[in-house]
Amino acid sequence: MILGIVTRSGRALPGLPRFGVQNVHRAAALIGVILVVVHMLALLADPYAQLKLVDFVFPFLSDYRAFWLGLGTLAFDILFAVSLTGLLRNLIGSRTFRLVHWSAYALWPIAFAHGLGNGTDSRHTWFLAIAIGSAVAVTGAVLWRLRTDFVEYSTLRLAEGT
């Protein structure tokens, strides 16, 4: 999430040029998607979870902890769409890309809630520490995103559009 926001700013990071930020963002996103898929496959194989294939696509249909699981499914649906726009970046128009890719901002809190609600380790301190740390970092990045001087050079440029 943070790397995506930094990418949008057009800024470099210490030791990482702009094209590097872009590449790391894409790599990290890809790794994230793979981890989620592993997580889903593991659940499929888990007899205790009792999940059907349809539960991985359509949210809120399962029997076991329907709401929190549904959030997870919903998060994956959004992740799928966001990843698709990322991969097909050069083929789809910029308006379509922005519209769908922006749903990443919805993706994160939904996935976060799913992790807290469904997680088997959500009582443990280490898990909560990671969760709070992530929340603080992402919230900080989003607040930074909302600043008017967020985009590099924005203070030196005139606004676009009539």
Partner 1 sequence: MTTESTYAGLLAACSPDLATHTALHGHYPRSSRGTLIRLLADAGLHGKGGAAFSTARKLDSVTGRRVVVIANGSEGEPLSDKDAVLLERAPHLVLDGLQLVAHECGSGETYLYAGSQQLHFLRNALQERRTAGLTEPLVTLVASPKTFISGETSAVVGTIEGRAPIPRDRSVHSTVAGLKGRPTVVHNVETLAHIALIARYGPEWFRTRGLGDASGTTLITLSGDVTVSGVVEIQMGIPLDQLVTQYARTDTPSIRAVLVGGFHGGWIDAQDLPTTTMTTTALVTVGASLGAGVIHVLGHARCGLKTSADIVEYLADQSARQCGPCINGMPRLARALSEIAYRSGSVHTQESIRYLADLVEGRGACKHPDGAVRLVRSSLHVFQHDLRMHAAGACEVNTRMGAAS
Partner 2 sequence: MSTKSPKVLHIDWTTCEGRGLCTELLPTLLTRDEWGYPLPHDRRREPHIPAELETDAQRAVKLCPRASLRVLSGQDR
Residue 146 contact among partner 2, partner 1, none, beta carbon within 5 to 8 Å by kind: none
> How far apart are alpha carbons 103 and 70 in whole angstroms?
17
> How far apart are alpha carbons 40 and 67 in whole angstroms?
17
Q: Are 138 and 153 in contact (CB under 8 A)?
A: no
> How far apart are alpha carbons 97 and 157 in whole angstroms?
24
Tell whether residue 160 is a contact of partner 1 (CB under 8 A): yes
Residues numbered 118 to 157 that lie near partner 1 (CB under 8 A) are: 157
Q: Nearest approach, Cβ of 30 to partner 2 (angstroms)? A: 15
Tell whether residue 161 is a contact of partner 1 (CB under 8 A): yes
Residue 162 contact among partner 1, partner 2, none, beta carbon within 5 to 8 Å by kind: partner 1
State whether the Cα torsion 145-148-149-153 is positive or negative: positive
DSSP letter assigned to residue 111: H
Tell whether residue 95 is a contact of partner 1 (CB under 8 A): no
Residue 144 contact among partner 2, partner 1, none, beta carbon within 5 to 8 Å by kind: none
Chain length of the chain: 162
Tell whether residue 158 is a contact of partner 1 (CB under 8 A): yes
List residues binding partner 1 (CB under 8 A).
Answer: 157-162
